[in-house]
Structure 1
């Protein structure tokens, strides 16, 4: 399989399936395309008609774009791995939590974009972004209380991968969050796949000035 991604420092959507594949030890070839370059869209279009990353190319050559669609596809193709919880009730909740991350939190995305190398405490703290932070904090606390941890639904899975870029944002902007959420942030940061992504983001040489201002 091939996974087409953007810069690790900036591409939150790319981070999700990459971390998932790494965690479950599923072999894949990484194709990294630098974002906001003159040839970026043309390079992505070689793999995905959407012109966006990420995109998974399976052994059958069929492209699957969109991070949540990729996660669902991986769960189908590798049922031996509990990417979704095995329990039906927990699985339904995990899907809801993941879909909410996928479709919501627009203020957080726009005001606190992912930039792993940056440190901007307090920046982007608009009422809308802080409302998104509060909702995410509540989601995390509810999931952890129900599952008992250590991750949102017990073991690391799709829901945790979906929220890993949020953890990166919290690292950068440091909004006020609950003690329970702080522990979860630390746990995700310490996860080997997440730590590898962060390490590689710091080693990248490509910079996007408009994202770094």
Structure 2
């Protein structure tokens, strides 16, 4: 379960993304335009410490882009290369925002969903003055995601170090035996996104639908 707050964010998520995304090699669109949010989905951190959210955005008239974020209450040691920035949350205080491909909590969550046939987290909105969540309202997700795997499938641990690199339209994260491919430009050709090493099991996928996208679209590929 993902608990959301009716909070003020400074800067906003889209403001942070608008400054950071054009500096990335996978960016496509108008670098001078503030990105607009199209849809989003979340995963749950079992420890309740890290916010995990993936946004589908556009920059001006450009293509649909996928930006996966994690939100933390303190800096993640060794993850400076993936730090997008910080923002002030009117309920939770200062938050460190990371490109999620470098965060082991995100990699664990997306790997679990893909390999076990999981879904996005249920979302509930709590009042800004109600951190205990005594009054929560369910929020309908704007994106429906589902993994291609089966319930009960084994999920390998996220190895160390986490290494990332970019290929056309995608970002690839490797961590030990784990390989996670995040499709960045939705609809773009990504020739390597389903490549597995010869001794690895076939890759699992995370596919999604959202308003305007009725047929499942592959967003993430996981090889373990």
TM-score band, normalised by shorter chain: under 0.3
Higher share of residues assigned strand: 2
Structure (1 or 2) with the greater helix fraction: 1
* TM-score, normalisation: structure 2: 0.27
Query: TM-score of the superposition, structure 1-length normalised?
Result: 0.28
